[in-house]
Each structure stands twice: as C-alpha cells, then as structure tokens.
Amino acid sequence: MRFADYYLQYIRDRESNWSELEAEHVNLLNAVRRLQEVNDHDRLCVLRDALQPYLDLQGHWEDSLTLNDWAMAAAQAKSDYVTTARFTHDKADILNQMGEYRQAEHYYQLSEQAYLTAGSQEMALRSRHMRAMVIRAQGRLAEADRLCEATITDSQRLGLDRWIAHPLYVRALLARDRGNFKSAQRWIHESLNRLMGSEEDAMIAQCYHFLGELALLQGDLLEARTQLIRSLELSQKVGIIRRVAATQRLLGDVARAEGQYDEASRLYHEALTISNQLGDRPQVARIEVSRGELAVRLKRTREAQELLQIALNIYHEIGDPRGEIGALWQLARLEFKQGRFSLALRHGFSIVHGARRSGLLQPGLLVGILQRERRKL
C-alpha cells in the first residue's frame, strides 16, 4: 500500500511539527480508514502508532479513540496479545485525559490483567500505576494509596529504579490531598531526582507544575511562579497543550494572589480556550473555579456563583468528589458572606453527604481538601 508508506514517512519527517500534521489531519485519518477497510492489520497498527503522539498531545481524543479501537481489533485479529494489551492501556489513557475516570479505570484494569496473562510484569505495573491515578481522581484515596505502595514495592523488586519516579509522584499527590505538604514536597523531589538526566520532559514538567502549586498553596508566590514557568516552558517544548493550559491556570492564580487581576483574567481566558478546544472537562472545571474566585475578589457575586455552579456540575458529571467538595465549599462561603445562611448550610450538608458517599469523611482527608480551598483564596 504505497499511500500508507507515503503517509508514514510524511509523519516521521514532521515529528512534533504539529501545524503541518494538522493541515493533513483529514487525509491522515482517511489513510488509516482505508487500511482498516482492507484489513491491512500490520500497516494500520504502525500508522496509528505514528499518529498517536500528535492526536493525543493536540487533544484530538475522539479521533484517537477511533483509531485506537481499529488498531485494537487488528491486534486481536492477529492474536497479538501484548499489542492488544497496549492498545487497551492507550484507550484508558485517552479516556483519562477526557475526564472519563470510571471507564478509564475499567480499561486500565483490563490492560493490567492482559499484560500479566502475556507475562509482561513491567507493563502491568504501568497500567496499575495509572489505575491508582484515576482511582485517586474519584476520591478513593485509601485504595489509591494501597495500589501506589504495591506498585513501588514491585518496581523495586523488578529493578525499575528510574520508573519508580511515576508512583512516587502519585505518593506526593496523595500526601498533598491529606494536607501533608512537607511529605508531598519530599516525595516530589525524590521523583524529580530520579527523572533528571532522562528524556521524560513531560513528566519533569509535571513535577515542576506540582512544586509550583504546592508553593502557591503555602503562599510562596515567587517560588510558585518560578516553578510554574519552568513547567510551562518544558510543556511548550514537548508540545503538551493540555499541560500548558493547566499551568497557565495556576499562573493566573498566582497573578490573582498578587492583585494583578487583569493578568489573571487573561491567563484564565487563554487556558479556558485551550481546554474547551481539547474537550478537557476536568481542566475546564478547575478554570471555572479559579475564575469564580477572581469574581469574588472583584465583588461580582452573581458571576462567581454562576462559574462555581458550572464547575460543580462538571465535577459531578465526571465523578470527581474532591472537586465537588471544593466547589461546594466555595459556594457555601459565598452564601455565608451574603447572609444567606440556609443556602450555606445546605451546601455544608451536601459536602458531608458527598464526603461520606465517596469515603472522604475520614480524619485528615476532608479537612485537607477544605484547607486547600481556603488557602486558594
């Protein structure tokens, strides 16, 4: 199939040149579709793999899911169990980026089991690690903690010293969730130290982003800005548009804390535009919370309520109880300041109910979430 070979070489010649690939987007997808129609399984999988970084980093997730499903069917037709497991993991990754946490958890578990069946313990650990991430996103912190610790133990047993940086990052997230910033900082520095000298720029950018957010929560605005700019520059270099938007949001939070409200508004607008284009619903919710907090500072109460309600609805739809609790807490504070005590109390009851339902009504967990929201103001 000459057309397939042509497009494969076209992609390889333009690696990371997203604008040129974007211009040929429709033709590239049609090339994969033609391979799927004639059951050319080998070329289909190769062309899909070449396209995947562009599709994911640029947020073409629906197209990415379609190509992934075609490739998975091709791998199954060849009885290639390891490749089938890989495409199952990739499907979970795409769903995770879209905020479809429940579905992502399901496919991570399937890929972990498939890798174990195929005798690939290392790859099974990677699926388990990501399952811990989406379980945490759903508020099941104790379960995520157990998976994280098991992953670290098994990684050490297999001698995966550098890759341990990934579950260490999850350990840092869980420590921060509980309000233990000192431990969170220790774990993220250990993760970062293991990554230095590697080519994992995307993960290094994520660690800088984490350090920036941690500094912001502790009121160190200079350190927050320094770390976030490091993260932004690396994310732009790698071309991770989703991470660029996330870091711009936090830089907006820094500007808001400094009283630079116009700058904060500009950064939020840019981040929201990107996130809406990507269909990144979790990030849209976080940005709307930040915009709501800016509206509170500017004494635009009705606007703040509307923005926080939008965020609350998204968090509820994607199944993020920590996000729901945070948005409800901000709404409760807003109603209380306006003297609407019955509405504030109603939001308080919703917080307790949501925390109980999701397993967050435990010593340290709920308090940690509320403390983070208070510090953001």
CATH number at residue 338: 1.25.40.10
Q: Which of 112, 105, 114 is nearest to 132 (CA)?
A: 105
Question: Which pLDDT value is given to residue 372?
Answer: 56
Q: What is the pLDDT averaged over residues 222-250?
A: 95
Predicted TM-score (pTM) of this structure: 0.82
Q: Could you tell me the CA-to-CA distances from 251 to 242, 254, 262, 334, 377 in Å, in that order? A: 15, 5, 12, 24, 14
Per the domain annotation, does 301 fall within a domain?
yes
Per the domain annotation, does 30 fall within a domain?
no
Q: Collapsing DSSP states into helix, strand and coil, what is residue 319?
A: coil
377 pLDDT above the threshold of 50: no
Per the domain annotation, does 329 fall within a domain?
yes
Quickly tell me which residue has 């504070």 as its tokens.
Answer: 333
Question: Which pLDDT value is given to residue 262?
Answer: 98
Total number of domains in the chain: 1
Mean pLDDT, all residues of the chain: 89
Question: Which pLDDT value is given to residue 340?
Answer: 76
Per the domain annotation, does 354 fall within a domain?
yes
Which residues 6+ apart lie within 8 Å of 349 measured at CB? none
Per the domain annotation, does 353 fall within a domain?
yes
Angle between helix 2-13 and 41-57 (nearest 10): 30
201 pLDDT above the threshold of 60: yes
333 pLDDT above the threshold of 50: yes
Residue 80's pLDDT band, with cuts at 50, 70 and 90, is: very high
DSSP 248-273: HHHHHHHHHHTT-HHHHHHHHHHHHH
234 pLDDT above the threshold of 90: yes
Question: Which pLDDT value is given to residue 360?
Answer: 59
Q: Which of 13, 7, 6 is nearest to 25 (CA)?
A: 7
Domain hosting residue 295, numbered range = 286-377
Q: What is the pLDDT averaged over residues 26-46?
A: 91
Question: Which pLDDT value is given to residue 323?
Answer: 84
Stronger pLDDT, 185 or 14, i.e. the higher one? 185
What percentage of the chain exceeds 90 in pLDDT?
Answer: 63
Q: Among 49-58, 219-228, 365-374, where is mean pLDDT lowest?
A: 365-374
What amino acid is encoded at 11 in this protein? Answer: I
Which residues 6+ apart lie within 8 Å of 339 measured at CB? none
Question: Which pLDDT value is given to residue 236?
Answer: 93
d(CA 360, CA 88): 30
Q: Among 49-53, 94-98, 304-308, 348-352, where is mean pLDDT lowest?
A: 348-352
Question: Which pLDDT value is given to residue 362?
Answer: 60
Per the domain annotation, does 149 fall within a domain?
no
Which residues 6+ apart lie within 8 Å of 204 measured at CB? 192, 195, 196, 198, 234
Per the domain annotation, does 239 fall within a domain?
no
